[in-house]
Structure 1
Amino acid sequence: MRTFPDLEATVADPASSSADAREMSAAQSRSAVLEEQIAENPGRFRVLTGDRPTGRLHLGHYFGTLHNRVRLQKLGVEMFVLVADYQVLTDRDVADDLPWHVEELVLDYLAIGVDPHRGTIFTHSAVPALNQLMLPFLSLVSVAELSRNPTVKDEIAHSRQSAVSGLMFTYPVHQAADILFCKSNLVPVGQDQLPHLELTRTIARRFNNRYGDGTAVFPQPEALLSSAPLLLGTDGAKMSKSRGNAITLAASADETARLIRGARTDSERHITYEPATRPEVSSLVLLAALCQKRPPEEVAADIGSAGAGALKKVVIEAVNEYLAPIRSRRAELARDRAHLRRVLAEGNERARAVADVTLAEVREAMGGCR
């Protein structure tokens, strides 16, 4: 694909790496404090999270983010879950059948336990006021800030388009609008998303300073760092919907078994858990451990010198047993597509009401700008 010279990868600067390590350490420490505060008073927090409807969700999504959303919701944290349909406009393959992809995403959410009565599931396209926040927010950031944002770089690098659309550059600002329209004060993220959240915090701070008249119109949302492990796909690369290497939550037991049997391992027979030196084997061990709720070292020790075939058998049994109730709920929910549409309609209505209030506050703060 065609890209821009100033967005190409550069050699890592040791000083920059050191700064990143310090930032990560600080984020981890703050996340530990936030977890304590959530346990003490979950009602003070509002979370915005979500996914793009580009295909069915998979085990990487589940252990990476989905089960944490359910955990937070059960604790009493208010949850806004976004189906980011406007963020797939650059992917024509998905946009051509978008309603189906949206319903499939909602189906996955409900199957894993997201409660639509205790949270709000909604789409970009149904909340005009949210998207109207893009214009004032874009006025608060520079082209240079957007160009060097890691989120933009990653989206461009993984785009399947022959040219990069202008929409790619607004991506992090659109996400800032997602987070701030409902005045979310907590965003569960991975380490790679910290720079994006920092841009959201910058936009909130700049808006408050320029238009707030001494009051904070928007909170500066904090990052709740996920401790989720990275699961590799069956080809040894990062598990991804677009790579065809993922085990989806909707996969049948037989399909799951076939995919795991074909997963890449290595030539060493003795099974160990060493992510740095044996990533493919270790990812399979980890997957079994997550499903069995056991330490991965213990799973590896049980298999020992039995080899990759025995490892894959353990993984197949663990995954299929773990996913069985999720698949059962998903199959039951899939029989009533009208229910999925009702859940989304009700969530869209709630999100619109919140966004309308926020946009009115923004207009008032900006001096009645319309």
Structure 2
Amino acid sequence: MSSFSAEKAPGRCGAIPHQVVCRTASGSLVGRSRADGTVNWAVPGNSSSSGGGKSGPLVLDSADERAFTSAERVLRAANLRTGVQVWSRQLPAGREAVGLMAAAGTVYALDAPSDGGDDTDLALGAYRASDGSPVWREQLHADPGGGFAAFGGRIYTTDGTKVTARDARTGTPTATTPPGTECPRLLSGGGYLVCTGSPVSASDTFPPLQRLAPATLRPLPTAEDSGLKPGSGLVSSKGVLILYEDSADDPGAGAWNAYDLERPRRLWSYPSSSQEAGLVHGRFVTLTDAYGPPKSRLISMDLRAGPEGTGAAAPRMSPPPQQAWDGERPALIVPGGDAGHVVVARIHPALRSVPLP
């Protein structure tokens, strides 16, 4: 276990198979060994930032060995192995990044007015991951909380109703969803695109799940969902969507539901109040219900068999972490690339490497 100081508590963390990287509200980065938690390197943040602002996004790109982050109007990249800052770039005056994504040697930054003005006044910029040089920047209407995706040579955004695909090399729009397609939130993974309702909606009715064809954005046959309020969602490379769906009237009385995207059907359901989850080594990993005895602990399930799996597909559970407190809700930080052997959990406040059950 490694201590997680109050200075770092406002930040965000991510993990790759060999390292955990955390950032603070001021934009500083700290790289820790995934094996033992020791600090390998640190990159100072913006000297002009007080650290009291909201934490910007953090993206770790194993392929290019880069950590990308932002604070105020500055985008920065650091080498994941050495911590050396490899470039920084300023956004236009009065703008700040509200979303970051990296794919195929490019980092994409979604920026919005920093004064809290019209949050539909967004722009999407593409920058070379190697040196930060700009490739293109396009104004667009989008929902900053609606999610965006980058794969297959295209970038996908949603404005809360329609989805737009853009050429990753030029930013030129190439397709939009047909009229009548609702997409408050866009989920992606493994080359799949799925539209769901928004987890921040004040309504008690939500658009149904809708899978989209990535090339044309036309709707494809999709399993019927539960009709509850959508929350966190993960899409596996094997075509399984695992979506947390909650009661709009009684929040916390929700469940993780798994859907087969190729043969549209619901596969299983696992009641839980925790929306912390990841996909590791071909299994779904989450935390047991924080309100149930004993203390919350890790559980992993086969993607298709879920909690009812047997034999090699049976659920597996970790011992309760000794440092956890009753009712505590730790966060999961899951190494990318299906590392398989560990999941890192944050506990009051600490980083703890936990073997994958």
TM-score (norm 2): 0.25
The structure showing larger relative contact order (alpha-carbon pairs under 8 Å, at least 6 residues apart) is 1
Report the TM-score when normalising by structure 1.
0.24
Higher CA-based Rg:
1
Compare the two structures and name the one with the higher strand fraction: 2
